[in-house]
Structure 1
Amino acid sequence: MQNQPSSTTNSTASRDSEASLKLDFAISGMTCAACAGRIERGLNKLPGVSLATVNLATERAHVEISAAAAQAAIAAPEQAEAIELAVSKLGYGASWLQPEAPSQLPAPAHDGWKVILAALLTLPLVLPMLGALWGQHWMLPGGWQLLLATPVQFWLGARFYRAGWKAAINLAGNMDLLVAIGTSAAYGLSLYQLSQGAAHLYFEASSAVITLVLLGKWLEARAKQQTTAAIRALQALRPETARLRKDGKEWDVAIEQVRVGDLVVVRPGEHIAVDGQILEGSSHIDEALLTGESLPVKRSTGEQVTAGAVNLDGVLLVQTSKIGADTALARIIRLVEDAQAVKPAIQRLVDKVSAIFVPVVLVIALITLLGWAWHDGNWSQALLNAVSVLVIACPCALGLATPAAIMAGTGVAARHGILIKDADALELAHRIDTVAFDKTGTLTVGKPSLVKVMALEPAQEQRLLQLAAALEQGSQHPLARAVLQHASSLGLHLPQAQEAQALPGRGLRANVIERAAAQGESSGSTTVWLGNRLAMQQAGVSWSAAHAAEPVLEKEAQSLQASGYTLSWLAVAENDQGARLLGFLAFGDALKPEAKSAVQKLHELGIKVLLLTGDNAASAHRLSQQLTLDQVYAEQLPEDKATLVTTFRQQGAVVAMVGDGINDAPALAAADVGFAMASGTDVAMHTSGVTLMQGNPELVADSIAISRLTYRKIRQNLFWAFIYNLVGIPLAALGMLSPVVAGAAMALSSVSVVLNALTLRRWRPSAVQHGSADLAPGVEQ
């Protein structure tokens, strides 16, 4: 895989090989996808702009100036100023992110207090309507209603006027414009009725609509914030400092000061700061970030290491080969950013309809006003009839249709361990026809376990395990924890290990004091080696003699390795004799008890199930046979997984990616819907739209089921919202509905929508807990 230097990571103004100019801008004032699309269309019309993309989640605009325009000796600041002016004319704000400026992401939304305040002001207006149903007359005086409704309408609801005005001057309709028009109509009619001394006012309608839509906007902002959390989490993996060595001296410097060719010292437990080659030392490296292999791999002199990987046990001297944007970690960050910038396949249904609905309602109201005025010359009655049209068309039910169903669906899902953080994911999941699973931590437990202990002499298996556990005491290595856990579960007594010595890239060596079980007396010191074949060779083990003594051992070892298991060999030297092979320990990962049922349920839903794993082909195909998967893609790097997901989508599939590791982040972001296990990394959870809090793969099918049910409720709600308008607007235009009846019909439509959404609370997942796990070979994250 070749590394292409990026000129667009963070804020850049640079020229690529074709001399094109690339600029990044922070955009302010966007409230919905329609805003992002409007700015994007406007920027793409500017002279010299070859490509402009706007990301609503990151509130960024990326603009590429064509090579010809870039060569016209126009400085980047001048180009940026022209683009900022163009965005300003569209009614939004733009600020050029200069190359030296640090990477910026949108600040978290803090508008929850507005929702609470709006609800407190609206409650006294709504309660009298409820009381009237039981014959109670709690209606406040008109002056008090005006006092409560006015701040909700013009202060807390000001955002809808601003966004609606931007849509109107650009000849576009959206929910903000619909809310502004509908609430203004109800408020204006109430003000007129109040001035006439009428008893029927409609302040509660305007205030309730604004309060509920404010709540939906706040929830949407919080969901949008989760998309940028993935990038923040990835950026946090990059060390801030590195330890340089020069002329025998070492000192810490900021990571930005490291240059290609510098020598970087990496101590045990530290993250590797750069991509480079090991010049000195040997160690086990956790490279799950790139390879997806959760088992640490040994790296020694002459081999490559990757930024973001964790050095476990040895001191390394690394010569830097790649820094900054060229490192593997930076490439993964760019993949997540690029995948999140891809526009969803569907637009918000309500915004689409509103673009047509708003002008139609305005035209009908205007025709009603002029028609009745021409008919009988009664402008007062004409105005009331026109307002009746606007009141019956007030988007209370329309505004509630989608968020009410989404809130009910996400709420019941959360109670059953399905955390849906993105409303778009909930809407998209109902169309999923392909689910791609990662392996470790998703279909398997994700922790290596000791699955087999085999000695040359079967009677020596317990001793082999005791000696191995003795060497591993105090170690935090994943394989060491697996050995100690297995020994503990069997209640084995562990002998004492002395003079323990790490064999970098090979294993461990120590002197073990074994004691006879009966007398409790020392039987002498035994030298023990535990590690790979290189450790056995270093100990002086004769493989030919061992094979001749017990050929079954070697045959079984080869079979296990071919199936993807990891082996550790153990040799002993006793009574001043040479080292002899005692046997080996095999490590694998446990298949989750729900994995088979999870695949079966997805097949029952007509969904194709794939496996994308960084593990070896033998292990992946063994798992496929156990679970009856449709297709398997083994030995996949993060970039490969993301590319495969993108390819599936280009072929027309609606793809869900299920994973739990850092290496899954690009594929999770590239998928239509990402599913992350809560037992996995924060990066995976931030990148995904759905988090399975129980780590149960069966919940994938349940998530799709609740999505399908919720989407069905959305369509039903939109039907009820519009059926009132389709019937009520003509009646209001013909003067057959008074504003009071129109308001009642509007309230009834809202009640219908809410009650229909609340039926989702009866949903229950089909996922159940099972018994013990089967064993699956290999470990991959």
Structure 2
Amino acid sequence: MPDLADPRRADAAASPAPARLAELEIGGMTCASCALRVEKALAKVPGVTRASVNLATERARVESDSSVEPETLTAAVRKAGYEATPSAPADAAPVQAARTTELAIGGMTCASCALRVEKALAKVPGVTRVSVNLATETASVDLNDATSGADALIAAVKKAGYDATSIAPPDTAVAADAAGHVTTATAATAPSAADRKRNESRRELAAVLVCAALTLPLVAPMVGEWFGMHAMLPPWLQFALASGVQFVFGARFYRAAYRAVRAGAGNMDLLVALGTSAAYGISLYELAMHPGDTMHLYFEASAVVITLVRFGKWLEARAKRQTTDAIRALNALRPERARIRADGGGEREVPLAQVRVGTVVIVRPGERVPVDGAVLEGRTHIDESLITGESLPVPKQPADAVTAGSINGEGAITVTTTAIGAETTLARIIRLVESAQAEKAPIQRLVDRVSEIFVPAILAIAALTLIGWLIAGAGGETAILNAVAVLVIACPCALGLATPAAIMAGTGVAARHGVLIKDAEALETAHRVAIVAFDKTGTLTLGQPSVTAFEPVGAMGRDDALALAAAVQRHSDHPLARAVVHAYEAAQPVAAGGVTAAATHASLTAETTAIVTDMSSMHDSGATALAHPHAPRATAARAVAGRGVEADVEGRTLALGSTRWLNELGIDLPPALAERAHELEAAGNTVSWLMQRGPQASQALALIAFGDTVKPTARAAIERLARMGIQSVLITGDNRGSAAGVAKALGIDEFHAEVLPDDKARVIRDLKIRRAGIVAMAGDGINDAPALAAADIGIAMATGTDVAMHAAGITLMRGDPALVADAIDISRKTWRKIQQNLFWAFVYNLIGIPLAAFGLLNPMLAGAAMAFSSVSVVTNALLLRTWSGASERSQR
């Protein structure tokens, strides 16, 4: 398996790479308004060309020129009222002209916080792109000067009012050593982000439990009234309990609100702080004015709201962590140690950081492969399911490639290391998924615009509610409580999480099933695909010749003629020669059961297909050919330039070659056989002849036709796309007969043959204009790169070239055309989740705010509703984790 395209190099294929790419983790974002403020703060930094903040992952990605220092980005975020720390993607590759820094952001509570952190980071000089993700509480910042540190980014986040720490890439030491550079700090020197979040979750749960214990006595008398019990806590006890909740467990809301106000913005924390302070304040006022009276106070309202909001935030954080399960599962595949062959011939176990390219690694049965490499000794089966989505173990023998993170089967093998650390396929997959999850979908820009005005609008509605109830003659308590309900129920968090939570879940589950989506824009575009244009060779076909027809001439039997043909070809490494040898092998009795393949055209083709499918794992066909003791042997085999090959077999001179050679030898064919050869050539097959040369005359012994075998899943893939309402088109550089044959076999109505690489891009553009729909291109070769770039969305096979993968928005980890439909299907399902989340987030606010304004919701119910809204959005996105591709189901 070739290395996956580095996302940064892949992006560069489409547009000039920024001089610097930085990532930051943003702290303090609580809603979409926060994310928008962070994004604007980063965008205002001189030299920043692009800033993107992701509320769900709490990350920011910033593209800037080389003059922008990381410290400037973090300072900009801090000035906006949030925290920011530079971070680097897992297994970050050695950087050339640009680098990406990742920060863990603390203190973000809603989308408004994320936007504020993003804006602060965007202002840091040298930042080219910022993306803040609220769900993972991280920021991704692209910097254009690899020599700069992360201090400026952290400073900008802290200036914005949030905490920020740098996330060290797990394999920094490995990558640095491999490049010959100085080793830097690794994850081993500091707690991982996952450990930090687990510790924060435990502390948050403990705080929620204590908060609930203080609040329960305040709520119990209200519940008792429903059953006719009229017990009331002493007013001063209510004051003591509520004060503990308000100023100890509610302090975080005051701090975040202060940072927002200082930055000239608002967020969820400001709404909660104002609402609970109003309820607490009116209760304190009544208590001070009537200290000796027994009256109903509203301390329970402020305490319950704070308790419910913190409980909701704990549930939300727990659900958000589950959206990153795919990344954690991939990270878990990396072994920390490797067993290497020592100089004296023995073996020793060393940390993975000490392994270098060229090191011989020993992998025992059941162990994970620690590096990318090639099998040196041994045979086994490798489980690559978590990397490629392939459910069945893949056979491996000497010279076959193995991938880090895959699980060795029954045999011990030795592997020559070809890639380590940041350059392994697994590391590239992780970077690609992280990059996709950190990006914003185009629809998120609309949400950001709404979030920007959300908090000011809610403050205005709350003020109007207060004034309206006072004008209507209601008491001050009623007016204040209704205004409090408006402040508490309005939550921009659901809006901010709707899109990124679904994207994280969708890209994660897609990666687990062998579909790697480069960015959110590719995911959003793929759901609207109406036409898929397929390359033929290597995409719909195996790209390897096989025997499609073998017809003996005269009285000679099929098996005898095939044995003679294989004898002539056994010493050749030509693809057509290997196809003949494998066809002969497939027709022989199976060693275990002694069952002989039927000597019919259909069975021969089927057997040949099965053999050819596994040809990629064969290192030396000649070594395995003609293992049967009674097979004829050839001597004095020799190539005849431009004609074919001839050899002496059992006293006869046999030749195997082209029709041109047949004609030169003056061999006359029966009319029926000549017509058959013409039909096969018209269908795109290559026709060769097995001939016997004699002193006076030569004769034909058999007709052999070669063709590119259609992949077993190709027909089902085309049919599934048709059921999805998607038309398939075939584009190939092969001759018209070959293209027509494959199109007919697969049920494709439209095909374009003999198309040059540049013309493939023209055909794609014509399809886009003629069909007025979104066109996807699926291919695997260098000649497909122009068409992949010209299409609305490019889909590349990971079994193909790096050039093709650079130009594509989606990479398929297996050369299975069924994954094309899977990629579109998961895109559609993810898009539906985004639509559902946005619908409910908007409807929730459109219904809840008027109800609260008209006095139909008390503050406690409003607080519960607000907490539920964010949790429900993330939980709905998590349903995507149950998705399973049809290609995987077909393998079971």
Q: Same fold (TM over 0.5)?
A: yes
CA distance change for structure 1 residues 206 and 428 in 2, over 3 Å: closer, same or farther?
farther
Indicate which of 748, 758, 767 corresponds to 1:629: 748
Q: What residue is the counterpart of 2:844 in the other structure?
A: 724
SS of residue in 2 equivalent to 1:635? coil
Question: What is the deviation of 1:115?
Answer: 4.6
> Bigger shift: 639-648 or 26-35?
26-35
> Matched residue of 2:499: which SS?
helix
**What is the identity, as a one-letter code, of the residue corresponding to 1:496?**
R
Query: Residues 10, 543 of structure 1: CA spacing in aligned structure 2 closer, same or farther, 3 A cutoff?
Result: closer
In structure 1, runs of 5+ residues without a counterpart are 1-7, 13-20, 64-82, 99-105, 172-176, 227-335, 515-523, 772-781
Give the root-mean-square deviation of aligned CA atoms.
Answer: 6.3
Partner of 1:586: 705
Secondary structure at the aligned position of 1:586 is classed as strand
User: What is the distance in 2 between the residues matched to 1:345 and 1:505?
Assistant: 57
CA contact (8 A) 1:393 1:729 kept: yes
Q: In the alignment, which of 304, 311, 326 is matched to residue 200 of structure 1? A: 304
The alpha-carbon distance between structure 1 residues 87 and 416, as it changes in their structure 2 partners (threshold 3 A), is: closer
Structure 1 position 414, deviation (Å):
7.2
- Contact 1:28–1:59 at 8 Å: present in 2 too? yes
How far did residue 640 of structure 1 move? 3.7
Name the residue aligned to 2:633. Answer: 496
Equivalent positions of 1:87-106 (< 5 A) are 96=144
Identify the match of residue 655 of structure 1 among 762, 765, 775: 775
Does residue 430 (structure 1) correspond to residue 527 (structure 2)? The answer is: yes
Q: Percent identity?
A: 42
CA contact (8 A) 1:432 1:704 kept: yes
- The answer on whether the counterparts of 2:51 and 2:128 sit within 8 Å (CA) in structure 1 is no
**Alignment of structure 1 residues 381-780 onto 2, 5 Å:** 388-403=485-500, 405-406=502-503, 423-457=520-554, 459=556, 461-473=558-570, 477-491=574-588, 493=628, 494-501=631-638, 508-512=645-649, 514=650, 524=651, 526-532=652-658, 541=661, 543-550=663-670, 552-573=672-693, 582-646=701-765, 648-649=767-768, 652-661=772-781, 663-668=783-788, 670-676=790-796, 697=817, 700-701=820-821, 704-705=824-825, 707-733=827-853, 737-750=857-870, 752-753=872-873
In structure 2, what is the Cα distance between the partners aligned to 1:589 and 1:399? 50
For the residue of structure 1 that corresponds to 2:556, the secondary structure is helix
> CA offset at residue 611 of structure 1?
1.6
Stretches of structure 2 that go unaligned for 5 or more consecutive residues are 1-7, 27-31, 54-58, 66-122, 132-139, 147-167, 172-191, 221-240, 285-297, 331-431, 590-627
Residues 278-427 of structure 1 mapped to structure 2, 5 A cutoff: 350-365=447-462, 388-403=485-500, 405-406=502-503, 423-427=520-524
Is the partner of 1:394 in helix, strand or coil? Answer: coil
How far apart are 1:491 and its partner, in Å? 1.0
Partner Cα separation in structure 1 for residue 515 and residue 18 of structure 2? 39
Q: Is the 8 A contact 1:121 1:148 kept in 2?
A: no
CA distance in 1, matches of 2:61, 2:282: 43
CA 1:718 to 1:594, structure 2 compared with 1: closer, same or farther past 3 Å? same
Residues 181-330 of structure 1 correspond to what in structure 2 (within 5 A)?
Answer: 199-200=303-304, 202=306, 205=309, 209=313, 212=316
Of 619-628 and 83-92, more deviation after overlay is shown by 83-92
Is 698-707 or 619-628 further displaced after alignment? 698-707
Distance 1:58 1:438 in 2: 37
CA distance in 2, matches of 1:129, 1:579: 98
Secondary structure, aligned partner of 1:729: helix
Q: Is the 8 A contact 2:777 2:794 kept in 1?
A: yes
Question: For 1:178 and 1:467, how far apart are their aligned partners in 2?
Answer: 82
Distance 2:702 2:23 in 1: 66
- Residue 486 (structure 1) shift: 1.2
Paired AA for residue 613 in structure 1: T
Count of residues in Structure 1 that have an aligned counterpart in Structure 2:
581
One-letter code aligned to 1:451: T
Using the alignment, how far apart are the partners of 1:497 and 1:696 within structure 2? 38
Q: Aligned to 2:461, what secondary structure does the other structure show?
A: helix
Question: d(CA) in 1 for partners of 2:198 and 2:831?
Answer: 28
CA displacement at 1:450 relative to structure 2: 0.9
Q: Secondary structure at the match of 2:707?
A: strand
TM-score by length of 1: 0.55
- Asked if 2 retains the 8 angstrom alpha-carbon contact of 1:344 and 1:672, the reply is no
Contact 1:122–1:149 under 8 Å retained in 2: no
Cα distance change of structure 1 residues 501 and 567 upon mapping to structure 2, 3 Å threshold: same
Tell me which amino acid in the other structure corresponds to 2:864.
A
Change (3 A) 1:591 1:740: same
Whole-angstrom distance in 2 between the partners of 1:191 and 1:481? 84
Say which SS state the counterpart of residue 737 (structure 2) adopts: helix
Question: Structure 1 residues 113 and 448, CA, compared in 2 at 3 Å: closer, same or farther?
Answer: farther
Whole-angstrom CA distance in 2 between matches of 1:418 and 1:11: 18
Which deviates more, 760-769 or 660-669? 760-769
Q: Determine the C-alpha separation between the residues in 2 that align with 1:183 and 1:698.
A: 50
Residues in 2 aligned to 1:737 and 1:34: alpha-carbon distance in whole angstroms: 30
| Aligned amino acid, residue 440 of structure 1 | T
1:304 is matched with which residue?
Answer: none
Q: Does structure 2 retain, via aligned residues, the 8 Å contact 1:216–1:403?
A: no
Q: Output the CA distance in 1 between the equivalents of 2:250 and 2:653.
A: 85
Equivalent-residue separation in structure 1 for 2:323 and 2:875 (angstroms): 20
Q: What's the offset of the Cα at 1:488?
A: 1.0
The 3-state SS of whatever aligns with 1:645 is helix
On the 8 A contact 2:129/2:141 being kept in 1, the answer is: no
Q: Give the direction of change, closer, same or farther, for the CA distance of 1:635–1:150 in structure 2 (3 Å limit).
A: farther
Letter in 2 for 1:616: N
Query: Is 1:183–1:394's contact at 8 Å kept on the other side of the alignment?
Result: no
CA distance change for structure 1 residues 209 and 657 in 2, over 3 Å: closer, same or farther? farther
1:745 shift after superposition: 1.1
- Distance change (3 Å), C-alpha of 1:595 and 1:371: same
Q: Which residue of 2 aligns with 1:288?
A: none
TM-score for both structures, normalised by structure 2: 0.50
Deviation digits for residues 543-590 of structure 1 (CA, Å, limit 9, x no counterpart): 15545344555544444333222344444546x778765444221133
AA partner of residue 495 (structure 1): P
Report the alpha carbon displacement of residue 197 of structure 1 after superposing the two structures with TM.
8.1
Cα deviation per residue 1:730-774 (whole Å; 9 max; x = unaligned)? Answer: 344466644422211113334554665566678776779899xxx
1-structure distance, mates of 2:787, 2:64:
22
Is contact 1:186–1:203 with CA below 8 Å preserved after alignment? no
CA contact (8 A) 2:21 2:128 kept: no
Q: Does the 8 A contact of 2:51 with 2:63 survive in 1?
A: yes
CA distance change for structure 1 residues 486 and 54 in 2, over 3 Å: closer, same or farther? farther
Deviation at 1:655, TM superposition (A): 2.0
In 1, Cα distance between the equivalents of 2:705 and 2:822? 35
Distance in 1 between residues matched to 2:586 and 2:889, nearest whole Å: 23
Q: 1:470 to 1:682 in 2, by over 3 A?
A: farther
Which deviates more, 719-728 or 754-763? 754-763
